[in-house]
Amino acid sequence: MQSSEKAYFAGALGVLFSRGVSVGAGVLSLWFLTRILSVEEFAAYNFAMSIAVLLGYSIGLGTERSLLIRINETDPHPTHFLGMRLMKRVLALALALSAVAVSLMLVLPGLGDDPRYAAVPILSLTVPALAGSLVLITWYQANHRVGVSQSMQGLNDGTRCLFFGLTLAFGLGWSGIGFGAFLGAAVPALYLSWRARGRTLPEPSHFGLRDALEGLPFVTMRVMQIALQELAIIALGSWGSATGTSQFTVAVRVAILIESGQMVFAPTFMPRVLRHLAGGRKDLAAREYRVARLAGFLAALAAAIVLVVIGAPVLNFLSADYGVDFPAFLILIAAYLLPVGMGMHSTFLSMTDKIALSSANRVVSIAVLAVLLWILVPRYDAIGASVALLVAVIVHEVIGVLLYIRHAGTRPFGAFDGAAVLGACTTLCATAAGLVTMPVGAAVLAGILAVNAIRERVLILQVAGQLLAILRPGN
């Protein structure tokens, strides 16, 4: 296998373009929606979309582990896709479950006249489109087509952004928004199916009830990871104000950019760790963890500095006349920076026989979040949801790192690395609370980034050399 540094950047380059498109399209989509919809309608849209995303990911990711494990038991084929029959069986199951979810979403508005539910049936067809796309994306990833599979997020966001723009230009209203959301989720599945035509092999094909049941802890962990922010939006839509829901949604969609570095490396991290563990090489798997953690944290810290400096005008640009809650935004940045700094311990444990522990950790953090949202959102609106999210993340990360230390037999990072992560998150919270000014907070974050870059300069130079080698013509 390639070295950790070269493999990460080889895989990441295929994902990076998609991430850039996704970020740009996501920002434009927010701008379009805030110009099309009133604050109440925008809150209703995000409430409904959060429900659709949770259902779609629950269904689509529920079969991810089965695809990854079954196909990775065989050496990847250089030109063909393995497991076509397995993928079709998984896809059929996902679409059947999606039909049940759509039925429930169509019934929900009939339970009352609350305007918060108005957008739920409009976005219901997004669920099967999203679940189907996730199955095919996972199939590509299991076949080590990481760059192609992860570029689908950019295609999704780009397609949705295009139709939202047309909706604004031609006054299509909710019809255009619903169609854009559905098509954005469906286009990746259509493209991946077309791209694999004539290049598939049927085996492995086995997928039974036992495979589905064994995947339950994995889907719990994966869905709970996504559920943190979506549950906060649903709670705000249920117990908070329309203004608070809209402000929080815009803030969280921008703050999540902090995860970009880790998300770029994660698709490469998962199959490589799985292969190392299958070969009994825990030392190499631990090295993968350290390299991915460092690269992700440095990228996240740089992004945090940029967002602290320009976050207020960006939020004002996107929010139209909804208003901005900048302290909540800073707390959300800390909530996304912390797990990147701690590393992908949940993903690591999910590739071992300790997945049930990782899933239980997710359940605990979600329970903490749900209780805090119930207590804080009715009184503090968006800022309450942000604090609840941060506390839930802290609980999850502390437990997750302890689980990693116990079962991986090594520490995920040193004391200095932990202090750097803690210092950055504390600085963001202090800035949100008004204890330090924004320029001082940004300067402290820049100092932490500079010290880490100097300290890890040898590894950074090695990575830069690998990246230049990959970019060199003929490679």
DSSP assignment of 144-160, as one string?
T-HHHHHTHHHHHHHHH
pLDDT confidence of residue 7: 47
Report pTM.
Answer: 0.84
Residue 231 CB-half CA count within 13 A = 20
**Spatial separation of the C-alpha atoms in residues 275 and 284, rounded to whole Å:** 10
| Nearest CA-CA partner of 153 in 223, 64, 57 | 57
Residue type, 457: R
Sequence-distant (≥ 6) Cβ neighbours of residue 238 within 8 angstroms: 47, 116
Q: Give strand pairing partners of 200.
A: 81
Residue type, 193: S
Residue type, 312: A
pLDDT confidence of residue 294: 80
> Angle at Cα 362 formed by Cα 356 and Cα 366, nearest 5°?
145
| Nearest CA-CA partner of 143 in 213, 206, 229, 79 | 79
pLDDT confidence of residue 81: 86
pLDDT confidence of residue 428: 96
Q: How many CB atoms lie within 10 A of CB 141?
A: 21
Q: How many CB atoms lie within 10 A of CB 406?
A: 10
Question: Cβ distance 408 to 346 under 8 Å?
Answer: no
pLDDT confidence of residue 469: 56
Q: Mean pLDDT per 10-residue run, the chain (475 residues)?
A: 49 60 85 93 93 85 64 74 84 90 82 74 94 88 75 87 95 94 94 89 69 62 73 92 93 88 60 60 67 82 94 89 90 95 76 73 91 96 96 94 81 86 96 94 95 78 58 52
- Read off the tokens for 160: 């949705």
